Structure 1
Amino acid sequence: MQIAEPIVAEYAARPYVALRREVKIPFGSVATKTMRQLAKAIKAQGIQNTGAAIFKYNIVKMPELEIDFGFEVEAPVATEGELLSGVLPAGRYAELTFFGPYRHLYKVNGALIDWSRAQGLVFDATAAADGDHFVSRVEFYPNGPADEPDPEKLKTVVAIKLRD
């Protein structure tokens, strides 16, 4: 397991397509199943994914989560059915890069949150009765088990948009 020092990074807007799911931690098999469904849905609609797989955490009320399981695309696209199209907004993000098995991502997210608070950074989020609503809290997966069999080499970038 290898965790890089967190940073504040400037992001351009990033379009994506996704399937939204309400899940509970641990949500392991739901992610795999949903990503397979997503791959079939975008292929059926002629949409080309052009970047990393993403998990966008919309609402967090541990252990319950609302997540968009998606892929980056070149530009916003029209979608049908339960497939949705969105854009991760441009702006400043607290970011941490991690190499290792996915089972450590809970701790990795905690490390980024702790670091951000220690730096006095404020997330672009709103607290509500149903949980914390994030404008953009994302895990980017540039590789995965299908193309990287060594779990220690799996790369995940965790990013949370900061309030302007």
Structure 2
Amino acid sequence: MLSSYFRSNLIANPILRRAFSTTPIKPSESAPTISAVFRNITKDRTKEVPVETSVEYLKSDAYKQTYGGKPVWVLYRRNHKGSIPPRRTRRTCIRQGQISTGNPCPICRDEYLVLNETNIELLNQFICPHTQVVLDTSKTGLCRKSHQQLLVAIDRARDKGLITFDVPFRKYNYSEYK
């Protein structure tokens, strides 16, 4: 026999009533679906954050408290099955305007981090200070979509002269071309 507490909750919750009922429920009955109950709406990423807001966020106390003055990817560790990480990172963290994974990449998890060529402080975190090479996804943990956006933003910033980079000096023997 069901306890009175469970019976009252069973009648009040339409999802449980569907699961434990022996009689069919009419389709016209307005009850929330399971996906609407269990899906977290706070993972919404449809609104666009301006680049100016992202630049201000990188200078704010909230950013310093969250990341502790380190690059955004340092504290990130991706969950994966087994002891050996996969060769490639996931394709994307955001599908249909919502975060679709339990552990999104460092750029996708923080909506105020916007990859743009004018956001120099954020772009410099993903460039090696010694070799001026963009860090790999295996080190940063970015999804492939965010990494591609990062590469485009860094190339645009270099083209505009916002990020300095070294061009190797090549010595030519011009006597060979006479």
Please give the range of the TM-score, normalised by the shorter of the 2 chains.
Answer: under 0.3
Q: Based on CA coordinates, which of the two structures has the bigger radius of gyration?
A: 2
More helix by share: 2
TM superposition score normalised by structure 1: 0.26
Tell which has more relative contact order, 1 or 2 (C-alpha 8 A, sep 6+): 1
TM superposition score normalised by structure 2: 0.25
